Amino acid sequence: MNCFAKFLSGRIASFAHALRGLGEAIRTQTNARIHMVASTLVVALGLGLGISALEWAAVISAIALVWMAELLNTAIEILCDIIQPEYSEKVKRAKDVAAAAVLAAAIGAALIGALVFLPYLTG
């Protein structure tokens, strides 16, 4: 196998791993399913309202940020449960902080959504 073919097969495998992880999160995490529904509704609203390219950039960035936070939170929770299966106050605190990152991203996304969509819906 030449260098390019090896490189390409490695990238394909990386995408497969990432998609498997996304599927795992959606299958096992209620909040990931909520984010999936919210993301779909926001994209449909943006398409329906005909938002501008710059507004799409803000909306897509907000959606990506929430998904990144949710997926990292899920990974942290899984690792914490492996490392410390019994209850631990320190593990609880780590999980709470990771969950707070998702909350912060979601609040930011909601504010961006309000800035983008309210003028279309009220004017």
Sorting pLDDT into bands at 50, 70 and 90, what band is 4?
confident
Q: Which residues of 96-122 are buried (b: 16+ CB within 10 A; e: fewer)?
A: eebbebbeebbeebeebbeebbeeeee
Which CATH number do you get for residue 99? 1.10.287.3610
Catalytic residues: 70
Residue ranges of the alpha helices (H) in 1-123? 3-28, 30-49, 53-83, 89-122
Structural domain boundaries, residue 49: 30-122
Q: Is the pLDDT of residue 24 over 80?
A: yes
52 in a structural domain: yes
Predicted pLDDT of residue 123: 80
Percent of the chain, pLDDT > 90?
92
9 in a structural domain: no
- Amino acid identity of residue 109, one-letter, is A
Give the contacts of 84 (CB within 8 A, at least 6 positions apart): 91
What is the arithmetic mean of pLDDT over 68-93?
A: 97
5 in a structural domain: no
73 in a structural domain: yes
Q: What is the pLDDT of residues 28-44, one digit of tens each?
A: 999 999 999 999 999 99
55 in a structural domain: yes
13 in a structural domain: no
Tally the domains of the chain.
1
37 in a structural domain: yes
102 in a structural domain: yes
Q: Is the pLDDT of residue 2 over 90?
A: no
